[in-house]
Amino acid sequence: MAASSRIYQVAVPTPLYRVFDYLAPSTLAPGTRVRVPFGRRELVGVVLDEVAQSELPHNRLKSITQSLDADPLLPPSLLRLLRWAADYYHHPIGEVVHTAMPVSLRQGRPASISGVAVWTLTNAGKAVDPVTLKRTPAQKRLLDVLSLSPAGLDAEQLAQISLRWAAALKALRSKGWVSSHQRDSWPASNTDIQGSPLLNPGQQAAVTAVTAGLGQFRAYLLHGVTGSGKTEVYLNVIEQVLAQGKQALVLVPEISLTPQLVDRFARRFRAPIALLHSGLNDQDRLNAWLAARADKAPIVLGTRSAVFTPLKNPGLIVVDEEHDASYKQQDGLRYSARDVAIMYAAREKIPILLGSATPSLESLKKAREGAYTLLELPDRTGGAGMPDVRLLDMRRLKPSDGLSLPLREAVAARLAKGEQSILFLNRRGFSPVWMCFDCGWVAPCKRCDAQLTLHQKKQKLLCHHCGAEQEVVRRCPSCRGENLHPLGEGTERVEGALQNFFPQARIERIDRDSTARRGALEEKLRRVHAGEADILVGTQMLSKGHDFPNVTLVGILNADQGLYGADFRSGERLFQLIMQVSGRAGRADKPGEVLIQTWHPDHPLFAALQRHDFHGFAELALNERRETGYPPYSHLALLRAESPMPGAALSFLHDARTLAVRLSPGAGVQILSPAPAPMERRAGRHRAQLLVQSAQRAPLHDFLAQWVRQLAEAKFAKKTRWSLDVDPVDMY
């Protein structure tokens, strides 16, 4: 070993709370990927630092086998952010760094943008009316999906649209409707650019406030009802950012929202857009990530994990629907992309714009206290009013397949006028219970404390928690009777019932089952927009962002689910959900109506909904949180444990608690008693949790830092799978 060897600290993807020292003969900048020997394996790690000395004697240090990047892959700004995330979420730095990289980079593949052949519609193809392709459904589907993908689709993406994609593509090519090109550089928009509409005073004030603050850190909370023109505010601020030669990172909660947003960005800017979401193949993801890093893409648009995109020249971060729970990662590094984004903006000294019709109580409280700037858009654009919200008192109404008579009449009235209706039900499948009507037996999941859901079209009983699937039981295992029936309703059942009530109506069901095939959701949405559907039945997939101008009725079928939920956030979630779904109604010139079926019409949450009074609801909810000491009036961390052995998780948590008490955490840090998870058994594992609560963040984090490191080393912790969730969003 040459005496001149340098020592580097390397982040290696292991669950250990430390970095590892390695030798290398040459200079390696922080952020460079390296291959290192690790036990019997070789792993891809990232250099964090050069150090003068190691705790290990020089002759016991191993050498880096290979340096994978000529220039450091992770820029210093991203490395700083990742170190912060490792500290804040008390997660091993090696895993954090790993999480932040696209898959192919984790595997050690070269960090170079490579060309992929993609197909797009030609002008002739764009002019084709898809209806003329009715007899060749595969071609029609390809045309439909391509028309929504201005950047083009590669073979892998096309293959997911139809089994017959290759033949269909050949046919479309021979007609001159599609053409292929190499996607080697970053595609810039080639559509006609449309300018901004004249902003209304609220929008103008918001744009002025944020643009005045470019070049310095500030968080802005843009609270605007659905259809109030929030996206237009983002676009106008981004325009200024691009004019300064800077990049904008835009986060959205759902992949399904990206096509329409991309479309709006493409119509406004000629700038290339780097897209980052889980629906992309590895190569596209890598290309987008590298384009952002090289400043080849001024606009970076993506879902949760896009928050870890390196930006060469950051100017602004936008988090759309900032309250959305999907910003929180639920396994591994349990980060909140919104919170990481705020820290990113703070470190880069740029503004961050958080938008929502129903801001989280956390963000609202910060805005009220002046830590964030609150920007309000109180009205819908174009003079559209807020929908009329009416409660249907289900104590007096007898529903049939979940549909009360007034709701059915309201749907019928829309059908007669050629308007569209949305019926919202947060439960997929046919019925949530399959029951013996002789003895009361209900079909259970063998691996979860849960009942199986009947899926009628599939003729299967499915567990929505572990994915288990079994044949429909025809003879009761308890009493041998054959009087088994579905109980309660899911979207599949409501769809069928509507078809019976309204045989002529064209119904689209939108839920995870009906949109599993790639392109299916896009196709359904296109039909809705084209007026080829009368009624939409769906789960919360329907609630997000989609703009349906001809929808004038929204029916909420099971609003009470969540009214008295176990989670302290269930009321907040329900309010957000109903506001979002209601926001789909009457966005254009036609007034909308929202009908809510409830057994609790006197609940104050509904009164606030009827007045469209977000602030009134927030006042109630914040008071309740203050009294109960829940966030945003305290900070939480949840230690979860699970084991195939009954009792093991709980016993681990008791030991963990003993350890915690011995560490004597600072004043105000409360360690509650371990308790079984609300669903104790899931996928064959017994689960339990231990809540830690603190009024102040600093003592909580000091305590957690010591605690997790000791847990990681503790003998009693070896046999149980455990994880720490800082700022948990789902309490079970």
Q: Which residues contact ligand ADP (rule: CB under 6 A)?
A: 197-200, 203, 224, 226-232, 381-382
Residues 651-670 that bind Zn ion (CB under 5 A): none
CB 157 within 8 A of CB 117: no
- Residue with structure tokens 């000791």? 710
CB of 226 to ligand ADP, least distance (A): 5
CB of 315 to Zn ion, least distance (A): 47
Q: Is 441 in the site for Zn ion (CB under 5 A)?
A: yes
Cα Rg for the chain, rounded, in angstroms?
A: 27
- H-helix or E-strand spanning residue 525: helix 520-529
Nearer to ligand ADP, 218 or 230 (CB): 230
Select the residue interacting with Zn ion from 278, 478, 623, 670 (CB under 5 A).
478
| Contact of residue 232 among Zn ion, ligand ADP, none (CB under 5-8 Å per partner type) | ligand ADP
CB of 240 to ligand ADP, least distance (A): 17
Count of chain residues binding Zn ion (CB under 5 A)? 15
Nearer to ligand ADP, 203 or 303 (CB): 203
Nearer to ligand ADP, 129 or 589 (CB): 589
SS3 8: strand
Q: Report how far residue 59's alpha carbon sits from residue 48's, in angstroms, rounded to the nearest whole number.
A: 21
Nearer to ligand ADP, 321 or 489 (CB): 321
Which whole-number Å values give the CA distances from 616 to 243, 573, 633, in the listed order?
40, 15, 18
The DSSP call for residue 326 is G
Which whole-number Å values give the CA distances from 262 to 283, 621, 722, in the listed order?
19, 35, 39
CB of 52 to ligand ADP, least distance (A): 53
Q: Is 466 in the site for Zn ion (CB under 5 A)?
A: yes
CB 610 within 8 A of CB 593: no
| Contact of residue 381 among ligand ADP, Zn ion, none (CB under 5-8 Å per partner type) | ligand ADP
Q: Is 460 in the site for Zn ion (CB under 5 A)?
A: no
Nearer to Zn ion, 282 or 513 (CB): 513
| Contact of residue 431 among Zn ion, ligand ADP, none (CB under 5-8 Å per partner type) | none
Q: What are phi and psi of 669, to 5 degrees?
A: -90, 115
Q: What are phi and psi of 234, to 5 degrees?
A: -55, -50
Q: Which listed range, 210-218, 380-388, 412-420, 464-472, lies at the site for Zn ion (CB under 5 A)?
A: 464-472
CB 461 within 8 A of CB 470: yes
Nearer to ligand ADP, 289 or 614 (CB): 614
Q: Is 687 in the site for Zn ion (CB under 5 A)?
A: no
Transcribe 471-489 into DSSP letters: EPP-S-TTT----EEEES-
Q: Report how far residue 483's alpha carbon sits from residue 473's, in angstroms, rounded to the nearest whole number.
A: 11
| Contact of residue 439 among Zn ion, ligand ADP, none (CB under 5-8 Å per partner type) | Zn ion
Question: How many Cα neighbours within 13 Å face the side chain of 105?
Answer: 25
* Greatest distance between any 2 Cα atoms in the chain: 87
Q: What share of the chain is helix, strand, coil (3-state, %, to 5)?
A: 35, 25, 40
Q: Which listed range, 333-341, 471-479, 532-540, 556-564, lies at the site for Zn ion (CB under 5 A)?
A: 471-479
Of the candidates 139, 131, 132, 130, the one whose C-alpha atom is nearest the C-alpha of residue 174 is 139
Which whole-number Å values give the CA distances from 545 to 24, 226, 498, in the listed order?
51, 8, 25
| Contact of residue 441 among ligand ADP, Zn ion, none (CB under 5-8 Å per partner type) | Zn ion
CB of 319 to ligand ADP, least distance (A): 13
| Contact of residue 199 among Zn ion, ligand ADP, none (CB under 5-8 Å per partner type) | ligand ADP
Nearer to Zn ion, 436 or 621 (CB): 436
Nearer to ligand ADP, 193 or 672 (CB): 193
CB 493 within 8 A of CB 400: no
| Contact of residue 15 among ligand ADP, Zn ion, none (CB under 5-8 Å per partner type) | none
Which whole-number Å values give the CA distances from 204 to 222, 234, 377, 640, in the listed order?
12, 11, 10, 46
CB of 296 to ligand ADP, least distance (A): 27
| Contact of residue 436 among Zn ion, ligand ADP, none (CB under 5-8 Å per partner type) | Zn ion
Q: What does the chain come to in residues?
A: 732
CB of 476 to Zn ion, least distance (A): 3
| Contact of residue 203 among Zn ion, ligand ADP, none (CB under 5-8 Å per partner type) | ligand ADP
Positions touching Zn ion (CB under 5 A) are: 436, 438-439, 441, 445, 447-448, 463, 465-466, 468, 476, 478-479, 481
